[in-house]
Chain A
Amino acid sequence: MNTAASRYDRIARETFIPQIGKIVEVADMTAKDRFFRVVLENPLGHRPGQFVMVSVLGLGEAPISISNGPTGDNILEMVIRRIGRLTRAIHELNVGDELGIRGPYGSGFSLDDFYDRDVLFVAGGLGLVPLRSLIVPVIAERGRFGDITLISGCRNPAEELYRDQLERWTTDAGMDVIRLVDSTENMPWKFGTGLVTEPIPKMTMDAEKIVVALCGPPVMYKFVIKTLMLRGVKDTQIFVDLERRMKCGVGKCGHCQINNIYCCQDGPVFRFSDLSAIPEALQ
């Protein structure tokens, strides 16, 4: 029985015991979104588009997107929206405080799908956060890609994330950045107004050569994909990063199931053609 005990103890540790991360930087991005940089005990070793399970022990745990590029060091960056009991508590934390971190989990993006192609990123609201983990490594190897475009939309100017980053990407990343808001709501805004679908019909686009990565609120996907397909972009050239409720991250708790697939294990990033027989994917 002793050997069995140590075996299951090890598996349980690997599955459910978070490593302790120390917060080294906190910054407000909007009134409800906060940036956190965390130093971990061990290297994160993540791929773009993966996520971690973040916990405050005693309060709970939730899946959170990783927003830094895969660097191989012990750094984890996230932008967390204050939305419930746990995230409200996380927003109370400061530099020096601890977070429990499990993961990384999920499929993520593979840069091999993007090399030598034109790249279009479509981000809606918080969708910019996981997409950033892909944009950063793409820019780092700028020469290996064709035209790069980012369409980033949010509700109003006050809700825009990563403003400094968007400025830098606009000026010196060799990338077209289209910044949009649904409505200015009478706030100062020097960029465009409209939905993230609107620039797509007007873009100069080589439909054969482009690869698209999109992430945003559930309602966004259908419309963006439809607009892309009208431009002749095939479903094999579109990658979607989906959101679902998750409680375990290891394909057991059942919450993230989309028809016969598990978002936490098979996703959250999917090639859209792989979802053709998955009617629940874009609901």
Chain B
Amino acid sequence: MSYHLATQQNVINWIRGLASENPVYFPEKYGHASYRFAKVEADSEIQFEHYTPTVLPPVKLLIPAREELLSFRKHSDGKTEINPTLDESFRVIAGVRPCDLKGIFLIDLFLKEGVADAHYLARRENTALIGWACTAPCDSRVFCAAVDSLHHSEGADVFITPLKNGDVLLEIKTRLGEKLAAGTDWQPCDDGPAKKVGVVASMQEPFGRTFPVGVQDIFKKVAKNWKSPIWDKHVERCFSCGTCNLVCPTCYCFDVNDDMNLDVTSGNRTRTWDACMLPHFAVVGGGHNFRPDPAARQRHRVKRKFEYLPEKFGHGAVCVGCGRCGRQCTAKIDIYDIILDLINEGERS
């Protein structure tokens, strides 16, 4: 771990340099007001100043919408050959904000636990993350500070904090980070931690939307509200489209499907994003639906973020407060509003 100082232009040139050797993904402006993680090309604009959360979080670069798990081929001697498909190519994701670093950190935990998710971890292990600290809320919908993800930097190989004077503080956090920084002319910095504390102290309070209680108290409230009119209140206008799941940095549920090639002897098995808000998510053969009611599906989604996975893994809220679900929802249903209502409601079991 070491600290360095550099100018923003210096860092931008460094990222361009990395992009000339490896695929580097960086938030680029897309349409009028949206951002997306896109591969840096020679003419890409690289800037840190203007940003709202990308439509899809960067973790989706590691969990593609459609991913081959295995391919198979039936040989003429009758033997069937089946091989896993793994992507172990190297990539850099730069400009990753603390909320999204927290999202990747959590997905790492979830997919390492028990039977490890080899397809994700192979990609993740070959991915370098360059983080960028937020010093002002990126829009009015975020509530990262309220769910303790604003200062998350674990998982980043290099973490960059912009300083008041326009320069930046670079924190090299891993060996891979050292490798990426090799050959740069950044100035060593002896008082990195103090400089960071100074930046944090000068950040606006409150930072984004807040809750009247802390995360541990939110967990208690959510756990005690199995039967609550709040579950019906917000879902009244829900289309069960699953967008909230698809844009969430901590959603990873998937469906599995096979495809046969036209030769009818080879094909593949792929997984695609699935969403627990979709009506068919818990339907079994024969047609029984274990969660037919949209309110029950929404309760499940909220409880995964604020009860089930926090209890199981003990790393705080599994909602990082990025605001994407509320921002993208056609019906303007916002998990922030649901949690706020649950906090303000009396306890029901």
A positions within 8 Å CB-CB of B: 1, 4-5, 8-9, 11-13, 15-18, 20, 55-62, 81, 83-84, 87, 98, 100, 217-218, 243-245, 247-248, 250-255, 257-260, 265, 279-280, 283
Q: Is the CB of B114 within 8 A of A253?
A: no
Report chain A residues within 8 Å CB of B284.
Answer: 243-245
- Stretch among B27-35, B82-90, B192-200, B326-334 lining the A interface: B82-90
Residue B111 at the chain A interface, CB threshold 8 Å: yes
Tell me which residues across on chain B come within 8 A of A56, comparing CB atoms. Answer: 258
Q: Which of A56, A253, A265 has the most CB of B within 10 A?
A: A253
Does A13 contact B285, Cβ atoms closer than 8 Å? Answer: no
Assess A244 versus B290: contact at CB under 8 Å? Given A8-B118, A11-B118.
Answer: yes
> Which secondary structure dominates chain A's binding surface?
loop
Quick one: CB contact mask for B8-19 with A, threshold 8 Å, 1 for yes? 000000000000
Do residues A254 and B276 form an inter-chain contact, with CB atoms below 8 A? yes
Q: Do A11 and B70 touch (CB < 8 A)?
A: no
Whether B122 pairs with A5 at a CB distance below 8 angstroms is yes
Q: A57-B80, A259-B308 are in contact. Are A8 and B258 (CB under 8 A)?
A: no
B226 within 8 Å of A (CB atoms): yes
B252 x A254 contact (CB < 8 A): yes
Contacts of A245 in B (CB 8 A): 281-284, 290
Contact A253 B86 (CB under 8 A): no
Known: A9-B86, A260-B312. A253 touches B255 (CB 8 A): yes
Q: Which residues of B contact A265 (CB under 8 A)?
A: 114
Task: Give the CA-CA distance A56 to B271 in the complex, in Å.
Answer: 16
What 4 pairs between A and B have smallest CB-CB spacing?
A254-B253, A58-B260, A12-B84, A12-B118
Chain A CB within 8 A of B182 CB: no
Q: How far is the CA of A12 from the CA of B111 in the complex (A)?
A: 13
Determine the residue in chain B with the shortest Cβ distance to A254: B253
Q: How far is the CA of A20 from the CA of B258 in the complex (A)?
A: 16
Chain B residues within 8 Å of A, Cβ to Cβ: 69-70, 72, 74, 80, 82-84, 86, 88, 111, 113-119, 121-122, 125-126, 226, 252-260, 264, 267, 269, 271, 274, 276, 281-286, 288, 290-291, 296, 300, 303-304, 307-308, 311-312
A84 proximity list for chain B (CB < 8 A): 285
> Can you pick out 5 interface pairs between chain A and chain B where the beta carbons lie within 8 Å of each other?
A20-B80, A244-B282, A255-B274, A255-B281, A260-B312
Query: Are the C-beta atoms of B118 and A5 separated by less than 8 Å?
Result: no
Given contacts A245-B281, A255-B274, contact A58 B122 (CB under 8 A): no
A5→B253 contact, CB < 8 A: no
> Please, which residue of chain A has its CB at the minimum distance from the CB of B265?
A58
Instruction: Looking at the assembled complex, report how far the CB atom of B267 sits from the nearest CB atom of chain A, in whole angstroms.
Output: 4
| Residues on A with beta carbons closer than 8 Å to the beta carbon of B253 | 253-255
Report the minimum CB–CB distance from A160 to chain B (whole Å). 18
Q: Which residue of A lies closest to B126 (CB)?
A: A1
Shortest CB-to-CB span from B140 to chain A, Å, is 31
Contact yes or no, A57 B72, CB < 8 A = yes
Complex interface: chain A residues within 8 A of B70 (CB): 12, 16-17
Residues of A within 8 A of B254 (CB): 247-248, 252-254
**B102 CB → nearest A CB, Å:** 20
Bound form: Cα–Cα A238–B260 in Å: 44
A253 B274 Cβ-Cβ under 8 A: yes
Contact of B125 among A4, A13, A280 (CB under 8 A): A4
Q: What's the Cα separation between A244 and B256 when bound, in Å?
A: 15
Which residue of B80, B114, B257, B264 contacts A98 across the interface (Cβ within 8 Å)?
Answer: B80
Contact A18 B86 (CB under 8 A): no
A101 to B193, CA, bound (A): 54
Q: Are A59 and B258 in contact (CB under 8 A)?
A: yes
Output the least CB separation between B207 and chain A (Å).
31
Q: CB distance A252 to B122 under 8 Å? A: no
Q: A61-B269, A250-B114, A251-B114 are in contact. Are A17 and B256 (CB under 8 A)?
A: no
Q: Decide: B88 and A253 in contact? CB cutoff 8 A.
A: no
Measured CB to CB, the closest approach of chain A to B15, in angstroms, equals 23
